[in-house]
Amino acid sequence: MQVTRINPEWIWNRALRVNITDTYISHTSTDKTTIPHEKPALHRTLMREFEKFLKSTESTIFHEIIKGTTPDNHALYASKTFVTQRKKLIIDWYNAYGPLQVGFAAKLPNEIGVTRDKERPRRNRIDVFMEEAGAVWWVVNVLDRIGGIGAYRDCLAIKPKETSVTTANSLTIEVPNPMLTNINWGAAEAARKGEGVGQILQEGNKNIASPTWQVPYSSLLKWVIEYINQYLKENTYFTNENPWDVTRNSFGKKDIANANKTTGHRITTVAAPRNLSGYIWLLIQQQLEKTPNIDYYPCRNFENCAQELVGTSAISRRKWCSDACRLTSDRENKQTK
């Protein structure tokens, strides 16, 4: 069995009328869907959106420091700026791509207040969304750092297969601080317990979370895999692709234009997302597996669509993420001529 792709038939409904209470997010589904081949690097979009959220709340932290009332992480997440910015992040995401998770999921490791192995409702919860967005932000940043891509293009890539385990233990890498998320297990727990160096800054007589954290490469890899495994377990499964009756296009979609061409049946195992989370973590898995031999570049309409595309060389690149982007730009070109 060789799994080489995500179920090409999978799509996900976007959201309308998103409403946020203290704990829950409610919405109505639209007929508009998120289509995988138009969003081949959606994990990176969520990473950047969470990064924007962190940036937008920086001034609050600064303000609190001046007042000498630096709150801890939990207090920060409850403060007004956080609540407003968090609301914006969630509503924008739901409208553009849909909810991450719906339904139920197994409890997370070390989760308090939930009986072991019991399932808890994760349907549209604010804390679950923020925890996951934070995990995506941290994991993708670490993978980018290891691969020397994205914001870390100036850093040398690390080749896991060529790095001996002894070397990896002493190879210290600076990455974003997982304490800036509201995750309480894995890397975030380790940072809070004082593993690694530099996670705490002294401001006056206050301790605050530093933007960065220095830890050995082997620990980073362990935590990244721990997060990925957990989310894959909750949100994905294996299945058989529908047997081929119509030839599929390069994205794996059945192409009606080929309906008259004869083709033999072919059996293919694919990884299937249960929800948008599953799709995002499968993309992260792809980046983990291919690092450092994977890279991304922006769609030519990136300023409007925020999508990156997968590519490792300048040759035979797609220019646009979707027909919508290609058409928008055609229109703009005509107007400027």
> Is residue 124 a contact residue for Zn ion (CB under 5 A)?
no
Comparison of 285 and 307: residue with beta carbon closer to Zn ion? 307
Q: Residue 134: which of 64, 97, 86 has the closest Cα?
A: 86
Residue nearer to Zn ion on the CB measure, 38 or 234: 38
Nearer to Zn ion, 47 or 305 (CB): 305
User: Toward Zn ion, which CB reaches closer, 13 or 307?
Assistant: 307
CB of 152 to Zn ion, least distance (A): 23
In whole angstroms, the minimum distance from the beta carbon of 89 to Zn ion comes to 20
Scan for tokens 């309308």, then name that residue.
16
CB of 319 to Zn ion, least distance (A): 9
**126 makes contact with Zn ion (CB under 5 A):** no
State the nearest-atom distance from the C-beta of 267 to Zn ion, in Å: 34
325 binds Zn ion (CB under 5 A): yes
Binding range to Zn ion, per CB under 5 A, among 59-67, 208-216, 278-286, 297-305:
297-305
Residue (70 or 301) nearer to Zn ion, CB: 301
The H or E element that residue 142 is part of is helix 126-147
Q: Does 305 bind Zn ion (CB under 5 A)?
A: yes
Residue 298 Cβ, how far from Zn ion at the closest point, in Å?
A: 8
Nearer to Zn ion, 105 or 325 (CB): 325
Q: How far apart are CA 222 and CA 243, in angstroms?
A: 37
Alpha-carbon span 246 to 29, nearest angstrom = 30
The number of C-alpha atoms within 13 Å of 212 and in the hemisphere containing its C-beta is 8
CB 299 within 8 A of CB 305: yes
**CB closer to Zn ion out of 108 and 299:** 299
**Which region, judged by CB under 5 A, interacts with Zn ion, from 82-90, 206-214, 281-289, 303-311?**
303-311
- Can you tell me which of 15, 190, 221, 299 binds Zn ion, judged by CB under 5 A? 299
Query: Which range, of 97-105, 111-119, 286-294, 301-309, touches Zn ion by CB under 5 A?
Result: 301-309
Report the distance separating Cα 258 and Cα 62, nearest Å.
60
Burial of 331 (0-12, 13-18, 19+ CB in 10 A): exposed
321 lines the binding site for Zn ion (CB under 5 A): yes
Helix (H) or strand (E) run with residue 214 in it: strand 212-216
Cα torsion 4, 7, 9, 12 to 10°: value is -130
Q: How far is the CB of 322 from Zn ion (least distance, A)?
A: 6
When asked if residue 309 is in the footprint of Zn ion (CB under 5 A), the reply is no
Binding flag, residue 45, Zn ion (CB under 5 A):
no
**37 in Cβ contact with 251 (< 8 Å):** yes
Is the bond into 292 cis (omega within 30 degrees of 0)?
yes
Q: What are phi and psi of 92, to 5 degrees?
A: -60, -40
- Of 46, 36, 34, the closest CA to residue 5 belongs to 36
Count residues binding Zn ion (CB under 5 A). 6
- The residues binding Zn ion (CB under 5 A) are 299, 301, 305, 307, 321, 325
